Structure 1
């Protein structure tokens, strides 16, 4: 048996956001251009959603699972003045390469795979930069769940990335994440019978069921200077939210420009829940930092 991380989120995101855009009149608001780009010797396929006058630009970074491009989410962002590149994950859809995940019997949180996915996100960022109208548009990475490990690595690798947003992204090692997930065992009623103290004790002392090199997002986060926003649900049973928030607070105390929002009644799928609060919070945050950047003068690379 291979580690199976955050598959619920990835399957849901495919269902909600990999459809063809229903807005037949989008041409008056934004254009869509199919693109291909190279990453580590393979060709990845995606699409660029370009508003007429973008005030920011983002790459959508996948959660776990066999995810294709997120068309509806990209459309929503483009309608709000944000340029988007969304692509089929490596080994999925029209993208080349080999997909790693429990569905095919491989470890999707192996450090080599997470680093490879980070390189793919960085290559996507470079591709979108080439299509932006001028150099004064802030470029960021927006991701889900497993992207909590991928995005910090990608942002550290690529100095053109100016901000990051993580929906339910763990600030925990991959092995800590597995200990937590095995403990909750997918039970939606978990938090009715367990406390945060129970969770901390279990994560600290539970023996690992698998042996592989853990990925720790803190290794990249301590070196990043760009703004970051995490959006969490208080009833999450896949990511250790309390532990993650504690670590973000420590980074903030060290002067990192990091923020988080906790939505107490939501679970892991903060980006795709019926509530629009997390999405709206992310959208407003992008507008705020974009406005602040223009007001203070675009300073180019931030690392």
Structure 2
């Protein structure tokens, strides 16, 4: 039986980068978590310990900081700069993937006016993933975006087996933490594309009368593809953040849909990709 080395890569995980743009009186913050992964002709280091072609992960970290010196821009652009650099500067590297989590900061308001240098952390985390192997592949996304509808959601008509205890409902709280990742089929204004895609996801969640979280997920993905031509496909992961009505009858009280127990686990997890026929 032969033993061979399979696919492999290496890189620097979670380099935390904060860039403060001081060009204007009102400062601007860019807050990234950058992970690099390089692959190519790297068999020697695995098989014999020969590190001739291994750019140290510490060097990859330092590259992130050095490239930020004169500005960062959108996460997709910064990831593309890094990925191109690693492939084009290292003869043994054939492919580089750079993943970025971008943490948003909203400017505070003090006395009714925008603060020059004070911020509060924004909801959700923007993501970008770029792979360069001679051509660029770009994906964008959002994680940990918690949303909730207090009504307009049902769940009924499902099969019952000997272990079913869940009661059918025509009115429930629907809450989830959206993770979405969409692949681009053309370059675009990354900031506008991300803002508009996020707007469509949130508007659809709010507008759809939901008969299942699966239905809501598909409606969200379909709306993005219908209105954003640059998006080839979108993958959504929606955990069902259950809100269980509390039985107050032991205390001589009714519960007209106002008191809930928010559970964190276990939870239903709905996942699907919505794509174009020509993607």
TM-score by length of 1: 0.27
Higher strand share: 2
Could you say which structure has the greater relative contact order, defined with CA pairs below 8 angstroms and 6 or more residues apart? 1
TM-score by length of 2: 0.29
Higher-Rg member (1/2):
2
Higher helix share: 1
